[in-house]
């Protein structure tokens, strides 16, 4: 049998939406979320105990106890791998910090790849390209970088994309949310109260909430219709946004490939931009 983490992230698995929630919960804090009681995993995933039972049987296990044995075996194998055992233990000097940080970021990107299921990416792309519904982006003190970056690309791909900025106009925007509009919330530790208010208002208006967050216990998890998790531990005293930014760029790449009229739209936008630039020069 392949390693358990490879098994639960196999794109060929035919999972129900509830079972995908369990897989997300397992990957969010792997392997910790699977080592406790079944009821705790079910609560974390927002599903019932029978959903857990169906999933572990679909994965080829006789029951939850057998699944946990495989999880422990997988964890033990990883902890004993040469890569882990040979990891340098000494403190870095200042000259090593640059290369060490980049190497650590490379490893984080490899870990990030296993945190998102292909089916979630497909569904998210479908939501974002459905022009019947508006798209809104909200970010926090540092994560607003990702929200703005994604929003600027979304505006090239489709109409009806708006920023939810933490200012006096925020309640106005939130009031206008409609059923099945998509609200993208970027919120990483330390979590911000305003992000919780945005997500709560979105759910109250029956909008879809997509949470981009870390792998820890975000208070927004229970409100999210979909969660895109990224590791944030870095080789410096500050959390890293490298994996999160990579996820945003990967999403943009997926959306671009799924946008059949993109060339015509970009050509039209460029023509307008050139026209504006020409008139600006004439006015001078």
Q: Give a three-class secondary structure readout of 255-275.
A: HHHCCCCHHHHHHHHHHHHHH
**For residue 197, what is the domain's CATH number?**
3.40.50.10490
Question: Could you tell me which residue, 57 or 2, shows the higher pLDDT?
Answer: 57
Q: What span, in angstroms and rounded, lies between the C-alpha atoms of 104 and 223?
A: 32
CB 186 within 8 A of CB 143: yes
At 84, is the pLDDT very low, low, confident or very high (cuts 50, 70, 90)?
very low
- Structural domain including 212 reads 106-274
Residues 148 and 238 in one domain: yes
**91 has pLDDT over 60:** no
At 75, is the pLDDT very low, low, confident or very high (cuts 50, 70, 90)?
low
Residue in 68, 106, 80, 130 with CA at minimum distance from that of residue 234 = 106
The pLDDT assigned to 94 comes to 67
Mean pLDDT of 60-82: 75
Indicate whether 98 belongs to any domain: no
∠ at Cα 265 (264, 266), nearest 5°? 95
The pLDDT assigned to 77 comes to 59
Residues 51 and 134 in one domain: no
Please state which of the ranges 110-114, 126-130, 147-151, 168-172 shows the lowest mean pLDDT: 110-114
Indicate whether 50 belongs to any domain: yes
How far lies 141's CA from each of 26, 74, 166, 188, 229, in Å? Answer: 28, 37, 10, 10, 18
Residue that finishes a domain, picked among 28, 63, 80: 80
**5 has pLDDT over 50:** yes
Please state which of the ranges 66-70, 87-91, 105-109 shows the lowest mean pLDDT: 87-91
pLDDT in tens, 101-131: 999 999 999 888 888 888 899 999 999 999 9
Percent of the chain with pLDDT over 90: 55
- For the stretch 7-15, contacts whose Cβ atoms lie closer than 8 Å and that sit 24 or more positions apart, written own/partner, are 7/59, 7/60, 8/59, 9/114, 9/117, 11/117, 11/118, 11/119, 13/58, 13/59, 14/58, 15/55, 15/58, 15/117, 15/119
Question: Could you tell me which residue, 86 or 237, shows the higher pLDDT?
Answer: 237
Residues 194 and 249 in one domain: yes
**89 has pLDDT over 70:** no
Q: What span, in angstroms and rounded, lies between the C-alpha atoms of 161 and 150?
A: 10
The pLDDT assigned to 72 comes to 76
**For residue 43, what is the domain's CATH number?**
1.10.10.10
**80 has pLDDT over 70:** no
Question: Could you tell me which residue, 8 or 171, shows the higher pLDDT?
Answer: 171
At 12, is the pLDDT very low, low, confident or very high (cuts 50, 70, 90)?
confident
Indicate whether 280 belongs to any domain: no
CA 69 to chain centre: 29
Indicate whether 96 belongs to any domain: no
The pLDDT assigned to 85 comes to 38
The pLDDT assigned to 79 comes to 45
Residues 174 and 237 in one domain: yes
Could you report how far apart the first and last alpha carbons of the chain are, in Å?
Answer: 71
The count of structural domains within the chain is 2
Mean pLDDT of 268-279: 83
Residue in 219, 218, 225, 199 with CA at minimum distance from that of residue 127 = 225
């Amino acid at each position: 049998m392949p390693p358990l983490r490879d098994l639960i992230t196999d794109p060929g698995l035919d999972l129900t939406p509830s079972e995908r929630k369990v897989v997300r919960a397992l990957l969010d804090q792997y392997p910790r979320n699977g080592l406790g009681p079944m009821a705790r995993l079910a609560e974390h995933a927002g599903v019932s105990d029978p959903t857990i039972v169906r999933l572990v049987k679909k994965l080829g296990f006789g029951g939850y106890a057998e699944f946990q044995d495989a999880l422990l075996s997988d964890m033990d194998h990883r902890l004993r791998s040469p890569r882990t055992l040979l990891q340098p233990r000494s403190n870095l000097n200042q000259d090593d910090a640059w290369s060490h940080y980049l190497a650590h970021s490379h490893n984080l990107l490899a870990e990030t790849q296993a945190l998102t299921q292909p089916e979630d990416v497909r569904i998210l792309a479908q939501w974002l390209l459905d022009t019947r519904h508006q798209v809104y982006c909200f970010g926090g003190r540092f994560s607003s970088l990702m929200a703005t970056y994604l929003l600027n690309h979304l505006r090239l791909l489709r109409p009806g994309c708006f920023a939810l900025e933490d200012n006096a106009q925020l309640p106005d925007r939130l009031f206008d949310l409609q059923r099945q509009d998509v609200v993208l919330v970027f919120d990483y530790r330390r979590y911000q109260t305003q992000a919780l208010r945005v997500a709560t208002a979105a759910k109250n208006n029956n909008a879809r909430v997509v949470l981009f967050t870390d792998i820890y216990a975000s208070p927004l998890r229970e409100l999210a219709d979909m969660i895109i998790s990224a590791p944030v531990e870095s080789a410096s005293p500050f959390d890293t946004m490298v994996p999160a930014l990579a996820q945003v760029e990967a999403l943009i790449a997926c959306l671009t490939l799924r946008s059949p009229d993109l060339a015509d739209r970009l050509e039209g936008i460029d023509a307008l931009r050139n026209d504006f630039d020409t008139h600006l020069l004439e006015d001078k």
